[in-house]
Amino acid sequence: MTASTISLADPTALGFSPARLDRLHALASAYVDAGKLAGTVMLVARRGEIAHFSAYGQRDVESGTPMELDTI
């Protein structure tokens, strides 16, 4: 399995609020934009199903290389 082949489940069906998951992205982007983090990869799952998977920011600030879903 690779990041590009991961399928997302319906967050509501897994008991997650889509609006609250959106807040995760807003929180992470605020930290990145403020320079507190270079970048983040977030994955939220329940019972083996993925409700949210996102990447934001940079994995290498000096080169400007973007954070990718498969960045470790």
Phi/psi at 34 (nearest 5 deg)?
-85, -5
Q: How does the average pLDDT of the chain come out, rounded?
A: 93
Tell me which amino acid residue 71 is: T
What local confidence, expressed as pLDDT, does residue 30 receive?
A: 96
In tens, the pLDDT along 10-42 reads: 999 999 999 999 999 899 999 999 999 999 999
Phi, psi of 28 (to 5 degrees): -65, -45
Q: Please give the structure tokens belonging to residue 5.
A: 């082949």
Q: pLDDT category, 1, cuts 50, 70, 90?
A: low
Looking at residue 4, the DSSP 8-state letter turns out to be G
**Model confidence pTM above 0.85:** no
pLDDT average, residue stretch 48-72: 94
- Alpha carbon distance 57, 53 (integer Å): 14
Q: Is 66 helix (H, G, I), strand (E, B) or coil?
A: strand
